[in-house]
Amino acid sequence: MLLWRRLAALRGERTPRRLRAGGPGPGPGPGRKSDGGGAPRPLYMDVQATTPLDPRVLDSMLPYLTAYYGNPHSRTHAYGWESEAAMEKARQQVADLIGADSREIIFTSGATESNNMAIKGVARFYKSRKKHIITTQTEHKCVLDSCRSLETEGFHITYLPVKKSGLIDLKELEAAFQPDTSLVSVMTVNNEIGVKQPIHDIGEICRAHKVFFHTDAAQAIGKIPMDVNNMKIDLMSISGHKIYGPKGVGALYVRRRPRVRLEPLQSGGGQERGLRSGTVPTPLAVGLGAACEVAQQEMEYDHKRISQLAERLVTKIMSEVPDVVMNGDQEHRYPGCINLSFAYVEGESLLMALKDVALSSGSACTSASLEPSYVLRAIGADEDLAHSSIRFGIGRFTTEEEVDYTVQKCIQHVKRLREMSPLWEMVQDGIDLKSIKWTQH
Amino acid sequence: MAASSRAQVLRLYRALLRESQRFSSYNYRTYAIRRIRDAFRENKNIADSEKIEELLNKAKANLEVIQRQGTIDHMYATEKLIIERPGNT
C-alpha cells in the first residue's frame, strides 16, 4: 500500500504542472515568437490520442474560416452555394477513401457521436422486433457506454471476450447470434494495443446472418486500406483528428443498399438526410475531406515509413532491456501503435520519468485514472503487467531522432526504476513473485 | 527530358526545399523536406511528358501551400522541441 500512497503523492505534484501546461504559460499567443529562453517542448509520441493537423489540411480549411462563411444549407444565395459545394466535395473525398457513395456519408462531431448514433440509432429503430446487440470487451469507451445505456432501455448486449492476442474468436461470434440480433459492433484497429480485427470475416458472417455490421474505424481509416463493400460493412465511424484533420468533426458511413435505418439522436432542421440535424461546420467538414484525400495519397508512403520506425523502436528497446512484453497480436496489427509492458516497473512512474516525451499508458479518455486498462485486462494480461504498460504512437510526422531519443530515455529510466525496485531485486535472486503471500492491510 | 524541362524541375525542387526550411515546427519542417526529396527521387525516371507536366503542376500547387503554411507556422511559433536543443541530438 505504501507504493500507492507514494504514487498518490507524486500525482499530487503532477496535477498542478498539468494545469499550468493547459494555461497560457509557454503556449502560443498571436504573433508570439520563440526566443529559445523558455522550457523546451516534449516530443509527441501519442498519435493515437490525437494527431497534429497536416498543413495541407489547414490550407484547405482557412478560406472557409475567413471569406467563405456562408451557411451550407442556405439555398437562396451564393454564400450558401459555395459552402455547400465545398461540403459536398468533402463528402466525396471521405466516401472515396472508404469506397462508398457520397450520399452514404453523414458528417458528425467525431467518432464518439458516430458510434453513439450508429449503435443507439440502429438499436432503437428496430427495437420492436430486435433487442440484441453484439460487441466486444475491448471496444472504445463510447461504444461500451452506448451499449450500457441501451441495457437500461431493455436491450440485451453480448460483450464478446477476446483471445490473448486481442483478436475475437470468430466461432464465439457465430455462437453469439440470436434470432433478435440487430447489430454487431467491432472496432477495426484497437486504440490501445493496435490489433486489427478480422473485419472482412466478421462482415461475411454478419451478412450471412442478415445482421447489420458497424465498425469503429477511427484508428484505421487513412492508415490501412478500408473498403466498405469489400468488407461488407454497413456502418462505419470516422474521426477527423486521428488522421491529421481537425478536432470536432467526424463522419458516419450508413449503407444505402441494403438500406440501414437509424433513429436520429438529435432533432432539428433535418440536415444530413434528417439523421444529424444542425448546421454542418463547413471548415471542419472541408478539413476532414482534405485529411481523407491526403491520407489516401500518402497511405502507402506513411505505412512504409511508420513500419520502419516502429521496427526501430521495438528492436532497440527489446535488445537493451529484458522482460518487455508487446501487448496484442504480433501479426494482425497496425504498426504505428505499440503497446509495451515493462515488467517490474510501474507504468505511471515511467511516464513521469519520461516527461520529455508525450506518452500515455493507454486511452486518453481514461488517462486520469490509476486503474489498469480494461483492454489489457481483457487480453488476460496479469495485473502487474497491465500496470506497467506504455503506448508508443508513431505517425506521419515522427522522425528517427524522436524515436531514438524516446528509446534512449526509456531504456535509461526502466533500468533506473528497476534498480530501485525490491521486486526486481527478488526476481534477480531467483524468487518467484507469484509464490509470495502478500499480507493484507 | 528536354533541357528546359529539366532545369524547370530542378528549380522547383530547390524552391520547395528552400520554402520548407521556413517551417518553424520541427515536425512539419523535417516532414516537408523528407517528403519532397522522396517524391522527386521516386519520380526521377519518369519520361512521359504528360506525366511530368502533371507532377510539375502538383509540385507548384504544393509550393504555394508550403509558402502560405510556412508563414503561418512562423507566426505562431512555439518553443523548440527538446531534441532541437544542442547536446540532445
| A33 and chain B in contact, CB less than 8 A | yes
CB contact under 8 A, B24 and A34: yes
Residue of A20, A397, A408 best to disrupt the B interface, most CBs of B under 10 A = A397
> DSSP secondary structure string, A227-254?
-TTTTT-SEEEEESTTTTS-TT-EEEEE
Residue segments in chain B with a per-residue pLDDT below the cut of 70: 1-4, 87-89
Q: For residues A410 and A53, what is the distance between their CA atoms, to the nearest angstrom?
A: 27
* A143 and A182 co-located in one domain: yes
Sign of CA dihedral A256, A83, A285, A94: positive
CB contact under 8 A, B76 and A397: no
CB contact under 8 A, B80 and A40: yes
Name the residue with cell 518553424.
Answer: B24
Q: Which three cell numbers stand for residue A259?
A: 438500406
Which residues lie below 8 Å from residue B85, measured CB to CB, with a gap of 6+? A40
Least Cα distance to A6 among A352, A249, A300, A254 occurs for A352
A315, A382 in Cβ contact below 8 A?
Answer: no
Please write down the HEC assignment for all residues of A250-306: EEEEECCCCCCCCCCCCCCCCCHHHCCCCCCCHHHHHHHHHHHHHHHHHHHHHHHHH
CB contact under 8 A, B68 and A27: no
Interface of A with B in 178-237 (CB under 8 A): none
* A190 and A89 co-located in one domain: yes
> What residue numbers bound the domain in which B37 lies?
1-84
The last residue of one of the domains, among A294, A328, A356, is A294
* A310 and A272 co-located in one domain: no
A187, A211 in Cβ contact below 8 A?
Answer: no
What's the DSSP call for residue A391? Answer: E
Q: How far A302 CA sits from the closest chain B CA (Å)?
A: 10
Least Cα distance to A288 among A60, A85, A76 occurs for A60
Q: Is residue B89 part of a domain?
A: no
CB contact under 8 A, B81 and A56: no
CB contact under 8 A, A397 and B85: no
Residues of B with CB under 8 A from a CB of A: 23-24, 26-28, 30-32, 35, 38, 62, 65-66, 68-69, 72-73, 75-85, 88-89
> What residue numbers bound the domain in which A383 lies?
299-424
Predicted pLDDT of residue A406: 97
* A216 and A156 co-located in one domain: yes
* A245 and A161 co-located in one domain: yes
> What region does A270 belong to: left with phi over 0, alpha with psi -120 to 50, or beta?
left
Q: Is residue A101 part of a domain?
A: yes
A93, A289 in Cβ contact below 8 A?
Answer: yes
User: Closest chain A residue to B35 measured between Cα atoms?
Assistant: A301
CATH number of the domain to which A218 belongs: 3.40.640.10
Number of domains observed in the structure of chain A: 2
Q: How far B49 CA sits from the closest chain A CA (Å)?
A: 22
CATH number of the domain to which A345 belongs: 3.90.1150.10
Q: How many other C-beta atoms are found inside a 10 Å radius of the C-beta of residue A64? A: 23
Q: Which three cell numbers stand for residue A91?
A: 463528402
C-alpha A268 chain-centroid distance: 30
| A69 and chain B in contact, CB less than 8 A | no
* A250 and A334 co-located in one domain: no
Q: How far A241 CA sits from the closest chain B CA (Å)?
A: 16
- The pair phi, psi for residue A96, each rounded to 5°, is -60, -35
Positions of A annotated as catalytic residues are 365
* A122 and A92 co-located in one domain: yes
pLDDT in tens, chain A (441 residues): 444 444 444 444 444 444 444 444 444 554 455 455 678 999 999 999 999 999 999 999 999 999 999 999 999 999 999 999 999 999 999 999 999 999 999 999 999 999 999 999 999 999 999 999 999 999 999 999 999 999 999 999 999 999 999 999 999 999 999 999 999 999 999 999 999 999 999 999 999 999 999 999 999 999 999 999 999 999 999 999 999 999 999 999 999 999 999 999 999 999 999 999 999 999 999 999 999 999 999 999 999 999 999 999 999 999 999 999 999 999 999 999 999 999 999 888 999 999 999 999 876 666 666 677 899 999 988 878 888 899 999 999 999 999 999 999 999 999 999 999 888 888 888 888 878 777 766
Longest alpha-carbon distance in chain A = 80
Q: Is residue A435 part of a domain?
A: no
Question: How many Cβ contacts (< 8 angstroms) between chains A and B?
Answer: 73
- For residue A52, list chain B residues with Cβ-Cβ distance below 8 A: 27-28
* A174 and A316 co-located in one domain: no
| A58 and chain B in contact, CB less than 8 A | yes
Q: Is residue A382 part of a domain?
A: yes
Q: Is residue B53 part of a domain?
A: yes
Instruction: Look up residue B88 and give its amino acid.
Output: N
Number of domains observed in the structure of chain B: 1
Q: For residues A178 and A175, what is the distance between their CA atoms, to the nearest angstrom?
A: 8
- For residue B67, list chain A residues with Cβ-Cβ distance below 8 A: none
Q: For residues A108 and A366, what is the distance between their CA atoms, to the nearest angstrom?
A: 23
Taking only Cα atoms into account, the Rg of chain B, rounded to an integer number of angstroms, comes to 15
- The pair phi, psi for residue A170, each rounded to 5°, is -65, -30
Q: What residues does A313 pair with on adjacent strands?
A: none
Cα distances (angstroms) measured from residue A223 to each of A229, A244, A343, B66:
18, 11, 30, 23
